[in-house]
Structure 1
Amino acid sequence: MTEPLLEREPNTRSALHCKKEICLVIISAAVGAIASLLISNNTLNLKPVMFEKINILNDQISRPSVPENNIAAKEIAISYLGFNGRRTFSKFICSGDENDISAWKDRLCVFSSICYNKITNRFDYFRLNQSKPKPVFYDKSNRMLFRFGVTNADIPFLTLTVGGNTPWTPFVVNESYPTENFTRLHQLHSLTKTRFASYNIGHGLWEDLGSISYSLDRMNIIDRNLVIMHMNRMDDTSLFRMYHKYIIRALTDHSMVQFETYMNSFSTKYVCFDRLIVGGELSVFPRTQVREYHGREILYYNWRSKIIQNNGFNPNFVPKKHHIIISNKTESIYKRVGMKRHRAIANLEEVASFVQDTYPNISSEVIEWQYISFDKQIEMLLNTTILITPGGGVSLTLPLLPHGAHAIIMDYYVTEPDHGYLYGQSGSMEGAFFNHIPHVRKQYYQIYGPQEYEFDYPGATDARETASIIINTKRLRLLIDKALEEMEF
C-alpha cells in the first residue's frame, strides 16, 4: 500500500491555529517554542514520508536539472477578501474546450482542495456560500453553469476511461473545506479507470496508462510522488503484473492503488486531495477520432522515453550495426478454436529464409514476443534497425525502436469499409498512431487484392480481423533495400 503524505484532522478542532508559513519564518527560540506548543495542542503532526528517487540509467546522459515537483509557475496568491488562509475552497484548471460542456470526453482538469465523501460516495467541490454563487463553466448554449455538467441533458464533466465509457462529475457544495473528520493528502493523485489494459497490452500501454503520462505533460506537472488510483478492480493477471513491474514506475515511485481499498484505508469521513488530476484520456488508434494536430508527437515520445529510461536503458541509444527482427505472432486473445493463426504472416518461414539468404551479412531473427520479458524486449528493440511485423497489437512496441530505425508493417485489404477506409483500399491498422511516431521510419507493406492474404479459418469474410498476410518477397526486398539506403551514411 502506498504510504501517503497526509495529515489527519480529529473530529473536533480547537480555535487555536498556527499557519505553516508563519512557523517556517520564526527565528526566535522563545517564539519557536511557543509556536511548537500551539501546534502540538491543536493538530496531529505527522512527519512527511521521504521517498527515495532511484536513478537506473545505464548511460550518463547530460540533462538539465528538473524539479521533482513542478507546475509551470507559482500561482498568484494575494490577500484581498480578508480570508487570510482561514477559509479554504476548491479550485480547478482545465485543458480542453471550456466553452462547450459536451466536449467532456477530451477535457483534462486538475482540482485543488477537493474531497471524496465516503458517506455519499462522491467528490465534493467546495464553493463559497454566497447569495449570488459564481459560475464554474461557460457553455456556448447553456450560458453560465453553476455546477459541473448538465444533469437534465445527461452531460457529465469528464471521463475516467478512454472513449468516454466512465463519465465523472464532481458535486458542488456551497460550504467551505472540512474542518473536522477529514484526511488531507498532500501529493498529487490521479483518478483513472482502464478500459483495455487487462487484456490488450498495446491499448493498455499507449492509451490507458499512456494517458496518465500525456496528462502530466499537458499540464506541465512533474511529480514522482504521484499516486495512481485505479477505479476498477486490478486483476492479478500477467499483464497487470507486467505493468506494475515495468510500466508504472515510469510514472511514479509508488504502486498503483485500487481506489475503493485506498479510500477505506482512511478512517475519516472525508479524504481530501491537495491536487487531483482527472480526465485527458487520449484515444490514439481510431482513425476517425484522432485529430491530426501538432503536439501528439512529443507526448508519445516522452512516454516512450520514460518507459525506456526507467527500465535501465538510454532512450537515445543508436545501434552501430544492422539487425533485422521478424515478429512471429502465434498468440492472440482473439484467436478462435480451429484458427491456424490470427492476423499473422502466413508464409513466415519463407520470409525468414529469404531475409537470411538475401542479406547474409546482416544478423536476423524471428521472435515470439510473448515469451520475452518486457525489459528484454526493450533491449532487443533498441538494437534493431529493421522490424518486420504484422499489424495489430504485436506491432505496438514500434515506438521503442531507436532513432532512424525502419519498421515494415503489414497493411490489410479492406473487405468491409470501416475505420475511415473504403472497400479495396490498403488499410493501415495502427496508422493513426504511427503517423505521430516520427523518429521511426514506417514502410507500409500494402495489400492489393485477395491473392495477398489468407483467411485464418473457413468462412471468415473480414480481412482486417481474420486474415494473415502472404508476403511477396520481391516487394519485401524493395522495402528492405529502401530502409538500408536511408540508414546509409
Structure 2
Amino acid sequence: MRGRSAGSEGGPMGAFGHRVSGGLERAFDLRDPYKLNRAPMLRGGKRRLSSLGSIVCALLGVALLIGSGVLVGRELVRPPRRSWEGFAPGSEPLHVLEMKGIQTGLRRNGVRPGYSSFACIGHKWEDDYLQHSCRFHDICLNHTSLEWQYYVDPEAVEVPLFYHYLNGHPVYEFPDDFVMTGHVHILPYTPWAPKVLHGRIPAKHPYSDAPVAVFQSLNDFVGSFRHALFDFILPVFNLMQLFRMYTPEFLLIEAAHQGHDPDAASFLMKPEDPQLSLMRLIGQNAIVTPRQVRRTSPPRSDATCFHTLLAGSGHLQASEARVRTSTFWAAAMANLGLEVKLPQEYPVVTVITKKGRRSIENAEQIAAHLRERFPEAEIALVDGNSLNTVPLKSRAQTLLRTSVMVTPCGSLAALAYLLPPGATAIVMNYLQSETGANVQLDDDAFWNVDHVTLAYYPVGVEDYEGTSDRPGCQKQKGDPMFEEEGTLVNCNVRIADLERMEHVVGAALRRWSAEHGLATVAMLDSQR
C-alpha cells in the first residue's frame, strides 16, 4: 500500500495554525500566544496632526493603549501557569528539578521528517515480546480504520525494518505481536503492531499538540488502589522514565482492554470527577480511546500524527531495576500543584484505619499509646476508606506531611509511594498459618522503593486473637492460593504488644530526625 500524496494546505498558515487573513492586520506578534492579538492595527486617519504637542500626546496615547492592551491581554489570554513553571533559573524546588531530570529525551522541535522511525529497549522481540518496549517517532493514527500507520520511504522498500537476530532474516513488516500493550502478568495478552505504509507522511495530516503519547491497555484490576497504582500508573510513568521522555502533557491513549470488565476503570482511573482520578499523579490530560483522539476542526485529513508514541511491556512496575520511585513522587507532587517544604518542624505519625479485610482493629488504642510515648510528635488517625472519596490533591497533602505511616497490608500500603523522601512506611505483615512464618504481602511492589524506608511489622498468633472477623475471613483448604498464603491472609489484626509497635515507630522517628538534622532525636533519647 502506498501512502497518500501531499495535499493542498488550503492557504498560508500563521505561526500557531491561524489562517492568515489579508484584510486584517494584527497589532501584536502572533508568535507570542500570551499577547492580546485581536486588536486591529491603529491606522492614521485623514486628519493631520497640527502641532508637536498633538503628536506627542497622540504617541503617548497610543503607547498607553498598547501597554494596557498587552497587560489586559496577558491577564485574559495567558493559560494557567503550571506548578512547575515560572521559576527563575536555579530557583526550582528540588522535586521539580527531579522531574525535569527525566525529560532529556523529549524532542525539542516541531520538525516533520516525513518518515517514521523506531527504537526498542528491554528484551528482544525474538526472545520475549512481553518485556519489549518501543518508541515510535512520527507515527499516525487513522481515524477511520483506527490503525497506527508507520511511514517508510518508498525508495527504501528493499531496506528491512530490522534483521532477525537469531537467523538473520530481514523483517519488512512489524510482526503482529511486536509489542504487548498490557501487563505481563495479566491475561489475556494484548499484542499490537503498527502498519507499514510506503510513502511520505501526507502534509495534510496534522500533528497532535501532545509532545508524547502512550498507548497502553487498562485492565480489570484497576478498581483497586494498589493494582491501579502498581499495575497501571507506575508502568505508564516508568515507560516514559526509561526513555527519559516524561512530560506532564503526555496523552494516554487506551489500547485494547486487558480483561473482561472495561467498567473497572470508572472508579479510580476515569471517574466522573476528574479530581479523583489517579491519572492526576502523572499527567494533566484525561485518558482517551483512539476514537476520542481530537481531530482538527474542521477535519483536514483522516489521520492525526504524533511526534512520539511509546508502547510496550507492562512489566515496568517499581521492581524494574532501571527506574526510580523518587522521580514518580516528584512528578506526582508537581502535577498536583503541592508546595513541598521539607523538613517540617515536628514529625507526624499517621495511622491508617479502614473497614473491611486486613484492618488494624485497635488503631485508636495504638494512636493513644503513641501520643503518650511521643508527645513531641503529632499522631493522626486517617480513614483509609475515605481517601477514595476526597480529591487526590487532598489525599496527597495528608501524606506529604507524614513522617511515619502505620498501615495495613494490601491496597492501602500503596500510599507509601506518596510519602515524602525520608519518611517510613510501617506495613503490617500477615501470618502464614501453615508455616508459622511472617509474610510480606506487598514486598513485590516495594523492593526497590528509593525515596522512603519500608519497615514491615511482624505479627504473631496473638495479634489475631479477639478480632471481629474470624472465622469468616479465613481461607479454607481447597482455595487455589491456600498453600501459598495460608488461612489468615485476609484477616484483621489486633496488635497485642503495643511496646513492640512503640519500638518500631520510635526507630522510624529517630531515622527521620537524623536524616533531616532535627532535635527530635535528642528529645526521644532524653525520655528513655
TM-score normalized with structure 2 length: 0.67
* 1:152-167 equivalence runs, <5 A: 156-163=177-184, 165-167=189-191
Verify the 8 A CA contact 1:342 1:468 in the aligned structure 2.
yes
Offset at 1:479? 0.9
Which residue identity lines up with residue 382 of structure 2 in the other structure?
A: I
Verify the 8 A CA contact 1:181 1:269 in the aligned structure 2.
no
Verify the 8 A CA contact 2:5 2:200 in the aligned structure 1.
no
Offset at 1:409? 0.9
* Structure 2 residue 333 is the aligned partner of structure 1 residue 308: yes
Mean alpha-carbon deviation: is it higher for 237-246 or for 383-392?
237-246
Distance 2:420 2:203 in 1: 54
Aligned partner of 2:344 in structure 1 is 319
Which residue identity lines up with residue 306 of structure 2 in the other structure?
A: F
Match for residue 257 of structure 1 among 270, 281, 288: 288
Verify the 8 A CA contact 1:309 1:315 in the aligned structure 2.
no
Aligned partner of 2:68 in structure 1 is none
Match for residue 7 of structure 2 among 6, 10, 13: 13
SS at match of 1:240: coil
Distance 2:9 2:332 in 1: 49
Offset at 1:257? 2.2
Aligned partner of 1:33 in structure 2 is none
Verify the 8 A CA contact 2:351 2:381 in the aligned structure 1.
yes
SS at match of 1:469: coil
* TM-aligned CA distance change 1:53 to 1:69, over 3 Å: farther
Aligned partner of 1:281 in structure 2 is 314
Q: Deviations over 1:144-196 (max 9, x none)?
A: 35146656xxxx111222226322112233x1134377444354322222225
Q: Deviations over 1:249-292 (max 9, x none)?
A: 5544433323222268857333332321222434437xxxx45x
* 1:181-200 equivalence runs, <5 A: 182-185=205-208, 187=210, 188-195=212-219, 198-200=222-224
* TM-aligned CA distance change 1:350 to 1:67, over 3 Å: closer
Aligned partner of 2:119 in structure 1 is 93
* TM-aligned CA distance change 1:380 to 1:166, over 3 Å: same
Verify the 8 A CA contact 2:115 2:201 in the aligned structure 1.
no
Distance 2:163 2:32 in 1: 39
What fraction of aligned residue pairs are identical, expressed as a percent?
A: 15
* Structure 2 residue 404 is the aligned partner of structure 1 residue 386: yes
Mean alpha-carbon deviation: is it higher for 431-440 or for 264-273?
264-273
Aligned partner of 2:135 in structure 1 is 110
Q: Please report the RMSD computed on the Cα atoms of aligned residues, expressed in angstroms.
A: 4.2
Distance 1:132 1:238 in 2: 46
Distance 1:55 1:344 in 2: 38
SS at match of 2:326: helix
* Structure 2 residue 424 is the aligned partner of structure 1 residue 403: no
Q: How many residues get paired?
A: 420
* TM-aligned CA distance change 1:88 to 1:72, over 3 Å: closer
Aligned partner of 1:71 in structure 2 is 105
> Runs of 5+ in structure 1 lacking a partner?
1-8, 25-35, 38-45, 78-84, 331-340, 417-422
* TM-aligned CA distance change 1:135 to 1:447, over 3 Å: farther
Match for residue 240 of structure 1 among 270, 278, 282: 270
Which residue identity lines up with residue 91 of structure 1 in the other structure?
A: S
Distance 1:209 1:244 in 2: 15
Verify the 8 A CA contact 1:391 1:409 in the aligned structure 2.
yes
Mean alpha-carbon deviation: is it higher for 47-56 or for 356-365?
47-56
Which residue identity lines up with residue 361 of structure 2 in the other structure?
A: A
* TM-aligned CA distance change 1:113 to 1:386, over 3 Å: closer
Verify the 8 A CA contact 1:403 1:439 in the aligned structure 2.
yes
* TM-aligned CA distance change 1:243 to 1:408, over 3 Å: farther
Verify the 8 A CA contact 2:163 2:171 in the aligned structure 1.
no
Offset at 1:111? 1.0
* TM-aligned CA distance change 1:113 to 1:385, over 3 Å: closer
Verify the 8 A CA contact 1:228 1:256 in the aligned structure 2.
yes
Offset at 1:385? 1.9
Match for residue 54 of structure 1 among 81, 99, 112: 81
* TM-aligned CA distance change 1:168 to 1:456, over 3 Å: farther
* Structure 2 residue 362 is the aligned partner of structure 1 residue 350: no
Q: Deviations over 1:282-338 (max 9, x none)?
A: 4437xxxx45x3x332xx2111111112223244622221222111121xxxxxxxx
Verify the 8 A CA contact 1:385 1:406 in the aligned structure 2.
yes
Offset at 1:12? 7.5
Verify the 8 A CA contact 1:318 1:382 in the aligned structure 2.
no
SS at match of 2:308: strand
* TM-aligned CA distance change 1:189 to 1:74, over 3 Å: closer
Distance 1:311 1:249 in 2: 7
SS at match of 2:271: helix
TM-score normalized with structure 1 length: 0.72
Mean alpha-carbon deviation: is it higher for 135-144 or for 479-488?
135-144
Which residue identity lines up with residue 260 of structure 1 in the other structure?
A: R
Verify the 8 A CA contact 1:186 1:275 in the aligned structure 2.
no
Distance 1:104 1:49 in 2: 44
Verify the 8 A CA contact 2:132 2:312 in the aligned structure 1.
yes
Distance 1:219 1:136 in 2: 20
* TM-aligned CA distance change 1:157 to 1:244, over 3 Å: farther
Which residue identity lines up with residue 377 of structure 1 in the other structure?
A: R
Distance 1:132 1:227 in 2: 32
Verify the 8 A CA contact 2:268 2:278 in the aligned structure 1.
no
Verify the 8 A CA contact 1:318 1:402 in the aligned structure 2.
no
Verify the 8 A CA contact 2:214 2:311 in the aligned structure 1.
yes
SS at match of 1:135: coil
Distance 2:350 2:251 in 1: 37
Verify the 8 A CA contact 2:121 2:134 in the aligned structure 1.
yes
Which residue identity lines up with residue 374 of structure 2 in the other structure?
A: Y
SS at match of 2:397: helix
Offset at 1:456? 4.8
* Structure 2 residue 438 is the aligned partner of structure 1 residue 426: yes
Aligned partner of 2:452 in structure 1 is 440
Distance 1:450 1:145 in 2: 65
Q: Deviations over 1:410-448 (max 9, x none)?
A: 0112357xxxxxx44321122223222233222211234
Offset at 1:142? 4.6
